[in-house]
Copies of this chain bind each other. A is one copy, B any other.
Amino acid sequence: MKLITKNTDYAIRALMTLASDRDRFFSAKEIAGIQDIPYHYLRSILQILTKNALIKSREGVGGGVKLIASPSRIHVSDLIIMFQGDADPGECLVKGRICSNHQTCVLRHEIKRIERMIQNQFGKITIQTLLNKEKN
């Protein structure tokens, strides 16, 4: 049961690095080195974080990315949605098309309930709380 994919994981770790010094720019190369993340892959992830305004970038020499959102306002649940998409829309299909009892299906109901519970749990975890726990 893969709750978090690599890109989400990498995003979290990159953000934690950025949160360690909120005022300066880190280059993708630097973050990749610190966190041991494949450079090109990380770059694509940072671009998504930039588009979502969690970080801002500066091009050219001495450039890189810098945190702009508050670490306590970046919830892991947001990152999951950002990188893994909101809980699959179709879900519980029969041979590609939606099955007849789609609306009433009890199993589906239970799954949806548990999914909400999971999102709720991940919503309580922020970059800040992760950093706090790390220090102990």
- Chain A interface residue count, CB cutoff 8 Å, equals 36
Contact of A36 (CB < 8 Å), options: B95, B114, B122, B125: B95
**Known: A106-B130, A130-B107. Is A114-B9 also a contact (CB below 8 A)?**
no
Question: Are A117 and B115 interface neighbours, CB within 8 A?
Answer: no
Chain B residues with Cβ below 8 Å from A1 are: 3, 80, 84, 87-88, 115, 118
Contact mask for chain A residues 1-31; partner B; CB cutoff 8 A; 1 contact, 0 none: 1111000010011000000000000000000
Question: Are B133 and A99 interface neighbours, CB within 8 A?
Answer: no
Q: Is A59 an interface residue (CB 8 A)?
A: no
Q: Is A33 an interface residue (CB 8 A)?
A: no
Q: Is A111 an interface residue (CB 8 A)?
A: yes
Q: How many subunits of this chain does the assembly comprise? A: 2
Question: How far apart sit A121 and B115, CA to CA, in the bound complex (Å)?
Answer: 11
Q: Is A38 an interface residue (CB 8 A)?
A: yes
Closest B residue to A113 by beta carbon equals B121
Contact of A3 (CB < 8 Å), options: B4, B37, B115: B115
Give the shortest distance, in Å, between A4 (CB) and chain B (any CB).
6
Chain A interfacial positions (CB closer than 8 Å to B): 1-4, 9, 12-13, 35-38, 76, 80, 84, 87-88, 92, 94-95, 99, 104, 106-107, 109-111, 114-115, 117-118, 121-122, 125, 130, 133-134
